[in-house]
Amino acid sequence: MHRRPVLLAISPRGVGFAVGVAFRCFTSTHAAHPLICSGSAVRYFPRNIVRVFGLRRVHQVPAEKPQGPVKSAKALVLNAGSSSLKFSVFNVDLRRKQDMAELNQPCGIQTANAMLLATGQVSDIGLESSTISYKAFIDDEQKFSTHIHVDDHKGAISEVLKLLRDPKLGVILDPAEIAVVGHRIVHGADKFNTATILTDDVIKAVEDASALAPLHNPPNLLGIRVAREIFKCPQVGVFDTAFHATIPPENYTYAIPLQLQREHHIRKYGFHGSSFCFVTGATAERLSMKRTEMNAIICHLGNGASMACIKQGRCIDTTMGLTPLEGLVMGTRSGDIDAGVVTHLINALGMSPKEVDTLLNKRSGLLGLTGHSNMQAVHAAADNGDADAALAEKIFVERIRKYIGSFLVKLEGELDALVFTAGVGENSERIRAMVCQGLGRLGMVLDTTKNTGASGVKEPAIISGVHSRTKILVVPTNEELGIAMQSVAAVGLIEPMLSPKEEAKLLMEAAKRRAEESVNGEEDEHMAMAVGGPKGVMIAASNRSEMTDSSIVEVGLMYGILPRVSKLGYFRPVAYHHADKRVNLMREVFGIGDDPETMYGVTVAQCSAMLAKKEDDKLMALILEKYQEYRQRHDFVVVSGLNQKELPQLGQDLNIRIADALNLPMVWSTDAGAFPSAGMTVSQSILSEISMSMLPGKQLKHVEVAASSSATSNVIGDEVQAQLKESKIDVIATQIDNRLRVRTLREVANVLGADVLTGHDALDTHHVGRLVVATMQVPDLLKYILAKSVEEDGGHQKVTRNQIQELKAEFKKFDKEHNGKILLEEVGTLMRVIGREMTDFEEQSVMAELDKDGTGKITFQEFLLLLSRRQEEPIPGSAPLVVTHISRIDVLLSLLMASRSQAFPKIAGVLLTGGSKETLPESVHAILAGLDVVGTPVLIIPLDTFAATQRIHGLHGLAPRLLPTAKVKLQAAQELFSMFSSSDFMERLVGGSSRRRDMTSHLFQHHIFLAARRQKQRIVLPEGDDWRVLVAAGELLARDLCDLIILGDRQRVLSLAKKYHADLSKATILDVKGMSWVEKDVMVETLLKLRGTKGMTREKALDIIDQDANYFGTLMMYLHRADGMVSGACHTTADTMRPAMQIIKTEPGASLVSSVFFMLLPERVYVFGDCAINVDPSAEDLAQIAASSAATAKAFGISPRVAMLSYATGQSNTGPIVDKVRKATELVQDLITDPEIAIEGPMQFDAAVDPEVAAVKVKGGASKVAGQATVVIFPDLNTGNNTYKAVQQSTRCVAIGPIMQGLRMPVNDLSRGCTVDDIVNTVVITCIQASTAKARDVTPPQ
């Protein structure tokens, strides 16, 4: 596949630093181009890719200092015990920049960008029984274990190094590959608050702290000394106590004489720091939070157990103290104990201090209470009726709960996460459940189903319920990885990045400097007008290629900007004429309601006249005046420059001058894949265009330049990159989608001025590929179209060896002088003869590039070279347009009949030449009227066949390339920027434009489609015999939004899809009646299992499966063969929902199924509930509907402010309905623990949504809901259903729904009057619901 990458080069002076993107590719010699990354780093290649490309291991030890930043580094982690040595090797990705605020705090680094290469342990060092175990992760996991004899730690590390360098099992070639060695050190006293490079002074300080950890620090030091001898890289100490260095004095100071404490360093230190550090980072990442903004309580529950209280990413308290003995009950340690117990044991029982120490550290805890130190054994004993074991469980749990309460007070109730980690925390669902029991009033609600499935997870898992204010998580710890990451950061290998606040400050300072420089000491009127006002960007197209049209860039950017601003504007400084097509395009596509007269400055005619009279200043003043007036009404304005057809000689220069006058950055659009300018290479042409705007002769003040270009990777190479860099221009590469090259039949009709005789509805969906001029007889014509279709289906058009003779024969026909050359001016005609398209502009470019000797001729070899350069993938969905004279009615009618056959290839349409509607016989009109349902368009034009085909060939050069009805092109333009431009780039472009607090309809639709595409789900559509469903399915698949299963008779589905031009090639079409008995039996058995007690028999089950597609689709969901279902286009709500209620059932915590509509008004998205399901809900039901609706709103990014509607507001009235709503409002408060959800009622609709009405009707102080509600709950179905329809019809807004809520898996019901867009929107919503259900793990078990 050959796609054209597009370059966007953005000056750092303007919209901010550009994101550099390059693609790793292999040339013919498999030489790899450099990989350039920005934003989130590229992760490691999957193992299958590694194997395919032979990239098993790459060892790079540069002989000299590398010129660029190192991309990764190997880190060795050592944990030396008295008779053991644990080790791990990680490859750490250095390309992900880290936030400075993260790096500056203890253990402050993210944790998810490293790969484990090898790990192992040497045991029983110095004994005959010593062994070494080893795992390497190369292609597949490799294990190794053997007995060895090592006398000391030096011998142990030497054996480890042998394994790491082993030809088969090793992961390094030389010790020099290890960039850093990280050592776990248990105690750093109060001297170290972060990972520290181990100098002689640091090692001396660790020795001094050994008195506080006599069993651990000495062997740690032994490992450090040996490693320093063997590995010459930096050695880093990572202290268990460092993470707790931020604990304030009031929390680490004991109430004993201060002098004693200070002299002997007696204080709370805390332990398990490496684990807490890792888990803090992993939790923040899982919750998509900055760790510097997160509050958490982390429970490290293993044989050794402790807890940490995290406030804004820093530890403020922990349970262990001077030693690991304080705090929680542990496997063999007592935890908190009255100090008087120690003196009592010594005085009353005569125990020595050492005996007491051994008792409390090694014979107490769970072991002392039950005889078992392992929690699993304690659980087993308790299950067998052991009362002591059951008591031990309670003691263990209550100590944890005591500290949760204590820490919650320290956090002032603001808790984001309660985290369980380590052996017991990760694997004992019983302990987690006991700890969380009764914490609902504190905002912590455990989901029992999620908790059951979370034990032993490999990734962080959320186990809290949907209404839990605090997230409860199980997060697997990885202390070794944490040590590796901290060690790499300590030696400065990871580059810090500026925080958004720091970066914004720099950009503001740069803007201020530009403003000061631009006026040379005098106030610039233009800049003064711009300060504090709305922002914008100017887009201009180059003269290099007809394929490049700034409308593509404009539409793509506007789609990207639209969700980020409240009011987006579009302005053309110079319009082609008063009814400018580009202005009309943007008004229709983006719903811009401005007067077209205000959306442009002057016309091309007016501009030309003023320039001819040397009235340049007057021209700029007029444009500026209209622009300033227009932009005051908008948050952001996209300004469209002149294109090459409007003012060919002056366009580029004038665009630059206008951008300068309007004080706007520019996006420069050009096509690097086009033929180069005369006398230049492609690279020179690109650089010439971009540098043109930087020439001193232009006297620019502060115009920032951006360029958009398209070419293959060998064109956009180092030469272009380097020269742009010298001009302070960075490059963003994207790819032009071939859908942008499609020519719709409507475009052809517009260009030709043709009348449409039939097939009006298909003009935008039929794409014109090659032209077939029908001068032959009908049988030969049909045979020709069939043959060409087979040829094109085989792949791209290519020049093969078998075709060379045929091409040479065609070439000779144009070789009039018989000298092996043809005139360059005839190349275009020859290309069309052999079925290749070429525009007039490309012909001119060919002449400029290939006429090297000035003869105006081309050889056959040069012609073949030209063909090879123009190889492109077929335009998606294109079909031939048949052109024939009006006299060939036989051709017309034969093609219309043939197009009804599935065996005949699709044609884009038929163009009749040499006539008009009036000259076409009445009999033909009558036949066409009867065949209109076929959908094959027929056009007619007075031009002769030759003139018509020439006009169509030149279509690329005619503006506009985009029409408001061209959905495929518009979607491609939108996706071009959403896929290849980062959100960071778009945010910088928009800059300081105003933001809305509430979700806008544009933002809502943008988010749901983006979310569906990122997490594709498998949706079943049971109504395969409805054309609307099939057309919607085609659009969903074309936009890659989901995977689809369509139920119905396969032939009928395909026939109907062809009739309505829906491409279902990517869908799974399932004919229930044609299924095997084996498959049906699975369904029957499932239905019997679920409904056997309700009178279901095998015969009934088989009949239901054969006859009821909704039941079949629901069973597919239950069996996890589909993730959701959308039905109702031709079924009642009861038919759609009954199977779901019987089979899928409600999710935990939901007592009923209800529905909402998303009402997409221009300024805000409302959630209306319930408008489809519950006829007359009780107060309890209404409370459940409100809680579910609030949760749904929040899940879709809508801030939930819930108004419980009635005919009275507040206490102004009483009555059955008002009282019901009032009671429901009270009940729902107990269901909602999320403080972000505000619910008030009863309230009238106008008081809920209109601030002015709310100010009058709602008494008693400020309300969080009145006048600003986003979710409205109706008291009954009659009110809700009528209201949503009234709002929809009166405002013409989009209403998406009904969306069902409360089921384990999503099933959504369509209105029987639904449109194709309704179906598309509902399926997308269903995809997001399915993804959410999976994340919450509420789907039914098989």
Summarised one tens digit per residue, pLDDT across range 539-548 is 877 655 444 4
Q: What is the bridge-based pairing of β-strands 600-603 and 568-575?
A: parallel
* Location of structure tokens 């995290």: 310
In terms of pTM, does the model score above 0.85? no
Residue 495, Cβ neighbours under 10 Å: how many? 12
Distances (CA, A) of 1094 to 493, 1082, 1087, 1103: 67, 19, 11, 16
Query: 1182, 1204 in Cβ contact below 8 A?
Result: yes
Bridge partners (DSSP) of residue 133 are 121, 145
Residues 88-142 have pLDDT tens digits of 998 887 654 444 334 334 444 444 467 888 888 888 887 877 888 888 876 556 6
Query: 756, 763 in Cβ contact below 8 A?
Result: yes
The whole-number pLDDT of residue 818 equals: 77
The whole-number pLDDT of residue 672 equals: 54
Tell me, what amino acid is at 1154? S
Instruction: Band the pLDDT of 610: cuts 50, 70, 90.
Output: confident
Query: 1123, 1016 in Cβ contact below 8 A?
Result: no
The whole-number pLDDT of residue 441 equals: 85
Between CA 620 and CA 1297 the distance in angstroms is 50
Classify the phi-psi angles of 288: left when phi > 0, otherwise alpha if psi is within -120 to 50, otherwise beta: left
Mean pLDDT on 1117-1122? 89
According to DSSP H, which parts of 1119-1233 are helical? 1133-1139, 1179-1195, 1216-1231
Residue 87, Cβ neighbours under 10 Å: how many? 26
**Coil, helix or strand for 1007?**
helix
The whole-number pLDDT of residue 976 equals: 65
Mean pLDDT on 943-948? 83
The whole-number pLDDT of residue 811 equals: 80
Q: Report, as residue numbers or ranges, the catalytic residues.
A: 240
Residue 1190, Cβ neighbours under 10 Å: how many? 28
Query: 99, 117 in Cβ contact below 8 A?
Result: no
Residue 956, Cβ neighbours under 10 Å: how many? 18
**Residue 861 CA to chain centroid, in angstroms?**
47
Q: How many helices (H) and strands (E) are present in the chain, helices listed first?
A: 50, 43
Helix, strand, coil % over all residues of the chain, rounded to 5: 45, 15, 40
Between CA 1064 and CA 27 the distance in angstroms is 36
Between CA 1231 and CA 392 the distance in angstroms is 34
For 1236, the token pair is 């972000």
Torsion angle of the four alpha carbons 1214, 1218, 1223, 1224, in this order, in degrees rounded to the nearest 10: -170
Mean pLDDT on 437-445? 89
Q: Which of 358-367, 767-776, 981-990 has the highest mean pLDDT?
A: 358-367
Query: 770, 835 in Cβ contact below 8 A?
Result: yes
Burial of 679 (0-12, 13-18, 19+ CB in 10 A): exposed
The whole-number pLDDT of residue 955 equals: 55
Query: 1086, 1118 in Cβ contact below 8 A?
Result: yes
Between CA 1116 and CA 1044 the distance in angstroms is 12
The whole-number pLDDT of residue 391 equals: 95
Q: Which of 115-119, 534-538, 782-786, 1043-1047 has the lowest mean pLDDT?
A: 534-538
Q: Which of 133-147, 463-477, 936-950 has the lowest mean pLDDT?
A: 133-147
Give the closest residue to 400 by CA, choosing from 269, 301, 475: 301
Percent of the chain with pLDDT over 70: 74
Has residue 1055 got a pLDDT over 80? yes
Has residue 3 got a pLDDT over 80? no
**Kind plus residue range of the DSSP H or E element containing 404:** helix 387-410
Mean pLDDT of the chain: 76
Instruction: Band the pLDDT of 858: cuts 50, 70, 90.
Output: confident
Tell me, what amino acid is at 273? G
The whole-number pLDDT of residue 572 equals: 92
According to DSSP H, which parts of 165-266 are helical? 200-208, 217-230, 249-252, 258-264
Has residue 865 got a pLDDT over 70? no
The whole-number pLDDT of residue 181 equals: 92
- Residues composing the chain: 1342
Between CA 255 and CA 1223 the distance in angstroms is 52
Has residue 575 got a pLDDT over 50? yes
Per-position b or e across 682-720, b if 16+ CB within 10 A of its CB: bbebbbebbeebeeeeeebbbbbbbbbbbbbeebbeeeb
Has residue 956 got a pLDDT over 60? no
For 450, the token pair is 């999620």
For 17, the token pair is 């630093």
The whole-number pLDDT of residue 100 equals: 35
Instruction: Band the pLDDT of 432: cuts 50, 70, 90.
Output: very high
Between CA 517 and CA 511 the distance in angstroms is 10
Tell me, what amino acid is at 505? K
Has residue 213 got a pLDDT over 80? no
For 535, the token pair is 């922002």
Has residue 260 got a pLDDT over 80? yes
Residue 997, Cβ neighbours under 10 Å: how many? 7
DSSP secondary structure string for all residues of 253-303? --SS-HHHHHHHT-S-----HHHHHHHHHHHHHHTT--GGG--EEEEEESS
Give the closest residue to 279 by CA, choosing from 137, 450, 460: 460
For 522, the token pair is 């005098």
Q: Which of 648-657, 739-748, 1106-1115 has the highest mean pLDDT?
A: 1106-1115
Q: Which of 26-30, 722-726, 1070-1074 has the lowest mean pLDDT?
A: 26-30
Query: 811, 859 in Cβ contact below 8 A?
Result: no
Q: Report residue 1336: phi and psi, to 5°.
A: -85, -10
Contacts of 300 (CB under 8 A, 6+ apart): 272, 275, 276, 279, 306, 307, 308, 421, 422, 425, 477
Between CA 504 and CA 284 the distance in angstroms is 24
Residues 719-740 have pLDDT tens digits of 555 555 555 554 555 555 666 6
